[in-house]
Structure 1
């Protein structure tokens, strides 16, 4: 029987789509929000991570918790203040959930948290599995602490799964509209060498994976949430241009120019991450969108195609 799912970060890109898909499958959905008085179609409970406050009834409501909250990594330049916010928003929110689950009587059966493939850093063309070594740059160190904080929930006897998300493709937000915009304007170009790998996943597949992890008790531990066929930045740019019927006229944008524009955040687009989906595939999960062109066509296919 479908149960009650409590989602943090419910108003974000993945949270909104996941909420829709859960409702379609008969689940009840509740969101944790700093502003529960904002009009929402979902039951909303108050929490305030900075204050360390969470409405106890949110925890007693839930059968499962899906934890997606965290300040956007690509939202603005990485000042020291912004980096602090990226770190704290993930780690403090996870800690708050852990403490609440430890202290409040509840009937939660599982805890599913997001993380990111950023944990592998710039790993060139090596295929990274869940057992691969972590990097030691800023994003990797955020992911490490984030995951170890989420992992504490397992000590409470709760089934815990952590998904390391790749680049989530959606036309509603995230990286894809940013990449598509210059291509639409005939100004598309690969970034840096263009040879850096990008491990991507269609938003609907990510949401199906979260739902599968709610329903299937074999999901425990860490999984890469990426489609089976990562591509280089150049392949991504070319495939997107083809799907949009736009020419690619410009040379690659040199790495130094990206560094100038984005500062340290340029690592997000210049780092190479070729990440394996094998562990997820071994659970029996099937991706609807295995190949990039299939995924992109769901967003940018023109009516005449």
Structure 2
């Protein structure tokens, strides 16, 4: 009998791609706001409700739910939503598991590389470093604290926190937004272009979740970031090279982005490096550790 894995954040690309990877070995279930398929179960965070049958005979939960950080300006209301979608959703799962007296083999939670703060420095952050003191690091700290509760309250044998970098996929996210301006000859680095952009190929982030699921010695926080560091300018230049397009526009000034996005602009204009040594030490191997090769794989049909 296959072990059952429940995935939250069902509409996200990582959830969909991950389900394809593990679907032959595990019974994959999804939590979603609107059920459309037989392996989907509804939950409603605002009402605090969940279809408890989703948790029957469950062995693992992979918690990917969370409102998109860069989708809207960070109003006070949006900030609450960004936190609630991660923290309160984990709390609802924990409460329901306790009520049903269910114990998991693992609770594997998404987290963010912005744990260390949204700043540009020459420091390479490791999992041993302390969190930053800005809004995004606050979100991640609360997110991880909610995950840790599953171990502390003896609901999960182990907890894994996947501190995710910018996920590169042509189907969504940062890369999808960067492609059109470059294709139409108006692409350029943002701000100074010197801010680091920790990144990871969509196949490698799904690979890390699969690896964490299958390896019981994997526990605690891990930087899910490619070993090769890149700045915003590096990434922009390499996308243009892979697409065979020139870059001749000046950098987009930081103040323009601040006018457009408000406080959210800091997440675009600042960024530091993070080490992948801890995940590599587990035996995990990146399929796309090189930025150019990662982009060629994603953009070769463009």
The TM-score bracket by the shorter chain reads: over 0.9
Partner Cα separation in structure 1 for residue 283 and residue 120 of structure 2: 27
Partner Cα separation in structure 2 for residue 290 and residue 2 of structure 1: 32
- The number of residue pairs the alignment matches comes to 299
Partner Cα separation in structure 2 for residue 179 and residue 61 of structure 1: 43
What TM-score, normalized to structure 1?
Answer: 0.95
Q: 1:299 to 1:99 in 2, by over 3 A?
A: same
Match of 2:129 among 116, 119, 132: 132
Q: Does 1:48 align with 2:44?
A: yes
Q: Does 1:141 align with 2:157?
A: no
SS at match of 2:56: helix
Segments of 4+ moved more than 3 angstroms: none
| Contact 1:91–1:149 (8 Å) recurs in 2 | yes
SS at match of 1:197: coil
| 2:94 aligned residue | 98
| 1:168 aligned residue | 167
| Contact 2:116–2:125 (8 Å) recurs in 1 | yes
Q: Does 1:75 align with 2:71?
A: yes
CA positional deviation for 1:2:
4.7
Partner Cα separation in structure 1 for residue 45 and residue 15 of structure 2: 18
| 2:14 aligned residue | 14
SS at match of 2:110: strand
What TM-score, normalized to structure 2?
Answer: 0.95
SS at match of 1:228: coil
Partner Cα separation in structure 1 for residue 153 and residue 205 of structure 2: 26
| 1:59 aligned residue | 55
| Contact 1:244–1:302 (8 Å) recurs in 2 | no
CA positional deviation for 1:179:
1.2
CA positional deviation for 1:107:
5.1
| Contact 2:120–2:195 (8 Å) recurs in 1 | no
| 2:25 aligned residue | 26
Partner Cα separation in structure 1 for residue 174 and residue 301 of structure 2: 20
Q: Extract unaligned runs of 5+ from structure 1.
A: none
Q: Does 1:120 align with 2:122?
A: no
**CA deviation map 1:81-107 (0-9, x unaligned):** 111111111110011111122221335
Coordinate RMSD, CA, aligned: 1.4
Q: Extract unaligned runs of 5+ from structure 2.
A: none
CA positional deviation for 1:173:
0.6
**Mapping 1:149-298, distance limit 5 Å:** 149-157=146-154, 158=156, 159-298=158-297
SS at match of 2:188: coil
Partner Cα separation in structure 1 for residue 46 and residue 163 of structure 2: 25
| Contact 2:73–2:264 (8 Å) recurs in 1 | yes
CA positional deviation for 1:15:
0.8
| Contact 2:97–2:103 (8 Å) recurs in 1 | no
CA positional deviation for 1:249:
0.9
| Contact 1:199–1:226 (8 Å) recurs in 2 | yes
Partner Cα separation in structure 2 for residue 102 and residue 302 of structure 1: 48
**CA deviation map 1:46-84 (0-9, x unaligned):** 111111111221122422100000111111111111111
Partner Cα separation in structure 2 for residue 302 and residue 116 of structure 1: 30
